[in-house]
Amino acid sequence: MGKKILIVEDDEKNLKLMRVILKNAGYETIEAENGEKGVKLAKENIPSLILMDIQMPVMDGIEALRILKTDPLTKDIPVIAFTSYTMKGNKERFLEEGFDGYLSKPIDVKGFLDIVKSILGE
């Protein structure tokens, strides 16, 4: 298996699609359905990359990002915002929050893998 990628997504269809795309590209996936569980799994597994939905139950992606970026154990893990918020200015807002990249829903398979590989330096 390749690098570990943590997917934090509450929508089962999106989660399954990302899992299939990433596994077919040779990555190992870890999955969480909310930000709180995502933070816990990030600290336990130290993935190479985190794909973070923004709007989720329990803890949203922005709050989870803030926790991850202030923890010495997880602060250097790149985090990509994965969201259906596609209004003008949202991408810039998420990057200003500290996300390392931005992906909009629905998933464009080639664009999705291109961004993942770029962030991972591949």
Q: Enumerate the domain spans of the chain.
A: 4-119
Mean pLDDT (the chain) is 89
**Cα 56 from chain centre:** 13
Percent of the chain with pLDDT over 70: 95
**Does residue 77 surpass a pLDDT of 80?**
yes
**Does residue 1 surpass a pLDDT of 60?**
no
**pTM listed for this prediction:** 0.91
Beta strands in the chain (DSSP E): 4-8, 28-32, 49-53, 79-83, 101-104
For residue 83, give the amino acid letter.
T
**Does residue 85 surpass a pLDDT of 80?**
no
CATH fold label, 4-119: Rossmann fold (3.40.50)
Are 54 and 97 in contact by the 8 Å Cβ rule? The answer is: no
Which pLDDT score, from 0 to 100, does residue 86 have?
62
3-state percent helix, strand, coil for the chain, nearest multiple of 5: 45, 20, 35
**Does residue 108 surpass a pLDDT of 90?**
no
